[in-house]
Amino acid sequence: MKPEPATEVPQAPLAISEPIADYLDYLRLERARSENTLRAYGVDLRLMTEFLVGQARVQRLSDVTVQMLRDWLAIQHEAQISRTTIARRISSVKNFFAWALKHQVVARDPALRLVAPKKEQRLPHVLQTGQIDRLLSEPASETTKSEPANGEPAKTLSKAEIVAEQKRIALAARDRVIAELLYASGLRISELVSLDIADIDFERRTVRVVGKGNKERVVPFGKPAERVINHWLRNHRKVLAHAETGGALLVGARGGRLNVRQAREVIAQALKSLGDTSASGPHALRHTVATHLLDGGADLRAVQEFLGHSSLATTQLYTHVSVDRLRQSYRQAHPRA
């Protein structure tokens, strides 16, 4: 029995697709939104368009009603899409129609009365100090396999084996920079891979970061991070880099700038190797350094600037984490808890 053909989504009419394209250009050129933000808005508006054209049979944006948009959101609720994702899609749609109204693409805003569900308040996972120490400890993979062990003579490696071994050690040194600098400076993974060598000020031990909204900030890092960065730059970056690498601080196995997916995988594997944490991505290190700073008495405003949060409310989430940890310790240690 042949499977039924997939239902094709009708192509969006120009009266809908062109304003959406203009809006995304506006976000890119005038609002300097990041590629990740543009991608998310593009997906949200594409899904909305597929529903409006395919099911609501809409041909113009001026025909869209609030009930149509609510019907689209109801389908996502039924599909058990998370509240966080639905809230983001509502925000995307509301922002788009507000722009469309301002630029006279529509005469009224059908999304004005849409209400986003409350986001799920999940406390971020925080690594303990001992786990951080293990994560950032020097791995055995930094040593060469050709070194003699137990007095045995060193194995003679071929030229190809020597090159492969140098590359393996270089990648291990680079991976240490990724983990150490993420924890030292609380960077977002996208900010980390965008760094150039010129962004590092070794004299002041600071890094210049261009974050969300194209906002620039200067973030400090400590001596351990300084050591691993210097070790990488002096001894190992040249093994992976080539003439077209440019000034990228972190380099991929093929010599290009390391990308977000590759860096994320490095941290995911490192966290998995700990064996005693459910943390699974680089944002866990950002959560951890923020919480550790607040636990150590850092000012909330200073942590906000350190992380590059536009809103203090976002930073305040970490105070909840600290209080939660304090409450847990109190219950475990206090005799009358």
- Annotated catalytic residues are 188, 212, 283, 286, 309, 318
Half-sphere exposure in the Cβ direction for 12 (13 Å, CA): 18
Q: In terms of C-beta density within 10 A (0-12 exposed, 13-18 middle, 19 or more buried), how is residue 48 classed?
A: buried
How far is Cα 265 from Cα 277, in angstroms, rounded to an integer? 16
Q: Quote the CA–CA distance of 90 and 117 in Å, as a whole number.
A: 9
CA distances 169 to 66, 206, 232, 236, 262, Å, are: 58, 26, 10, 8, 17
Alpha carbons 303 and 180: distance in angstroms, whole number: 18
SS (H, E, C) 201-251: ECCCCEEEEECHHHCEEEEECCHHHHHHHHHHHHHHHHHHCCCCCCCECCE
Burial 161-187 (b: 16+ CB within 10 A, else e): eeeeebebbbbbbbbbbbbbbbbbbbb
Residue 134 one-letter amino acid: R
| Interacting residues of 227 by C-beta distance below 8 A, sequence separation 6+ | none
Residue 17 burial (CB count, 10 A): 15
